[in-house]
Amino acid sequence: MADREAILVLTTGGTIVSHYDGEGRKRYPDLSASAEPLVAMAERAGQRAEVEAIASVGSQDMGRIVWHDLVARIRRAAEEDRWRGVVVTHGTDTLEETAFLLELLVDPPIALVLTGAMLAADNPSSDGPANFAAALSVAAHVRTAAQGALVVMDDEIHAARRVFKRATHGARAFASSGEGPVGFVTAGYVEYGSAAAPFPHRFGQVEPALLPEVGLLACHADMNPHLCRATLAVMPGGVVVAGLGDGNVPAPIAHELAAFVARGGIVVRSSRVDGGRVPCGGEIDDDLMGFVAANDLSPCKARLLLQCLLADGETERERIQAAFDA
Ligand code: ASP
């Protein structure tokens, strides 16, 4: 088969394949059984899909080991001539991080859609089957390959760069910052509105297993600088600050960060406010302090971009800032 008609489904675990045991605890199936719920869902959706199991974890345990296998498989799929697109099923806790990382690392581009579920597979009201069917439709759509990585939940199509989990429970748990979703799915019919504007920098040579450690420091009122010092001591390459408002940091923390920059570390200022943009300047003089502003990236996505830039050998603050501004 070389007609590019089939969808490759890669399952990594998450609520979409989970069930509850007799004690009310969520369980993920063994790797060998983790594809089964999705094979059944694909049959019901009537799509030509082949399911491969990459992992079976709650996405709180997602990280470089699973990412390594996932990225390697998608890069290979992009070179094969049989896939119309790829759907990745994933837990919702870190869905936005994997989506953005895949957008950065997968080059050449291929239609790439991630989805999950808020309700377990054995819940009669589970949103998994509908989300999965919608994700298959989006992956099959002719315009999808040009959009970067997309997240499909609740019939909404979100760009990887802007999507975030906004609710811990219930439907409509995902949203996009800025102008909202880039499209919608209605009974299998895909409609794009605005373009997703995928991130322009691609890191086709970077291996997830070799991403350098980058810390994430959450700012809050009355913050103790010892916590900052401890984080910086174990993250010598770089740190992302989830700052206050438009990326502000308390004065004692700014002092620690400036010393870190003087030792050669990279500091990226982002915001703990959902959807908050952090431009250069504002209340903090980034040029003076030697900081980078995260622009529209959330703290966890800024962390992934900084990891990729450092893995690619980028250490110049101005060039790192240019990448965040792209
Ligand atoms: N803890 C689960 C996960 O992220 C939650 C979910 O999938 O909704 O895998």
Q: What is the pLDDT of residues 218-269, one digit of tens each?
A: 999 999 999 999 999 999 899 999 999 999 999 999 999 999 999 999 999 9
Nearest to 215 by CA among 187, 253, 189: 253
pLDDT of residue 276: 74
Cβ(58) to ligand 1 under 6 A?
A: yes
Ligand 1 atom closest to the Cα of residue 93 is 4
Q: Whose CA is nearest to atom 7 of ligand 1?
A: 91
**What separation in Å is there between the alpha carbon of 25 and the centre of ligand 1?**
13
User: Is 212-325 the same fold as 6-192?
Assistant: yes
pLDDT digits (tens, 9 = 90+) for 134-177: 999 999 999 999 999 999 999 999 999 999 999 999 989 999 99
- Domain-by-domain residue ranges, the chain? 6-192, 212-325
Active site residue 15: yes
pLDDT of residue 16: 96
* Rounded mean pLDDT, 91-116: 96
Among 11, 12, 15, 115, which one carries the catalytic annotation?
Answer: 15
Across 49-53, 157-161, 200-204, least confident range? 200-204
- In this predicted structure, the answer to whether residue 1 has a pLDDT above a threshold of 70 is no
Give the residue carrying structure tokens 């094969």. 80
Q: Quick one: fold of 212-325?
A: Rossmann fold (3.40.50)
pTM for the whole structure: 0.96
Q: Whose CA is nearest to atom 3 of ligand 1?
A: 91
Q: Quick one: fold of 6-192?
A: Rossmann fold (3.40.50)
Q: What share of the chain in percent tops pLDDT 90?
A: 87
- Comparing 196 with 15, the larger pLDDT belongs to 15
**What separation in Å is there between the alpha carbon of 167 and the centre of ligand 1?**
12
